[in-house]
Amino acid sequence: MPLILPPSHFQKISTHAEISYPNECCGLLLGQQSQQTKTVIEVWPAENAWQTEADEYWPEQKELTEERRYAISPELMLKAMKYGRERHLSIIGIYHSHPDNSAIPSEFDRTYAWPEYSYIILSVQKGKIIDFLCWSFDHNHQFQSEEIIKR
């Protein structure tokens, strides 16, 4: 299902990825979903809460840093859900960057992905976006390429 992303929202995501380098950036995509498309209405940049959340949720990976992992705080997720509900929006996806790596989902991305969400991954090399791809996570626990329509 294509993801409609206004150019201004793509610019906001790209800027967040570049200024967060060499760390991973992350954020939420709020919008609406129809039978044919998902449309991003708002972008919520998030603080990468990896160091805070890793101790509690991923103790086996806490030696990793924000350069290779990201986490969005549960508090921000709940705030976005409530905000969206009041405005007839939903969290339709998550974006994050892969510093000095490809825009292909990692095994960590696959392990913690949620079905039905769109995942925009930006490849940031030496502080500049060189690629971005969008993925959806199917019920067979596999990522499928998803088209981004900028308009």
Higher-scoring residue by pLDDT: 55, 44: 44
**pLDDT attached to residue 122:** 99
**Is the per-residue pLDDT at 54 higher than 80?**
no
pTM metric for this prediction: 0.94
Query: β-strands 38-46, 3-5: how paired?
Result: parallel
At 72 the three-state DSSP class reads coil
Q: Judging by beta carbons within 10 Å of its beta carbon (0-12, 13-18, 19+), is residue 48 exposed, middle or buried?
A: buried
**pLDDT attached to residue 22:** 98
Supply 8's token pair: 């201004």
**Is the per-residue pLDDT at 124 higher than 70?**
yes
- What are the residue boundaries of the structural domains of the chain, listed by start? 3-150
What CATH fold (topology level) applies to the domain 3-150? Answer: Cytidine Deaminase; domain 2 (3.40.140)
Half-sphere exposure of 132 (CA within 13 A, CB side): 21
**pLDDT attached to residue 62:** 65
**pLDDT attached to residue 58:** 75
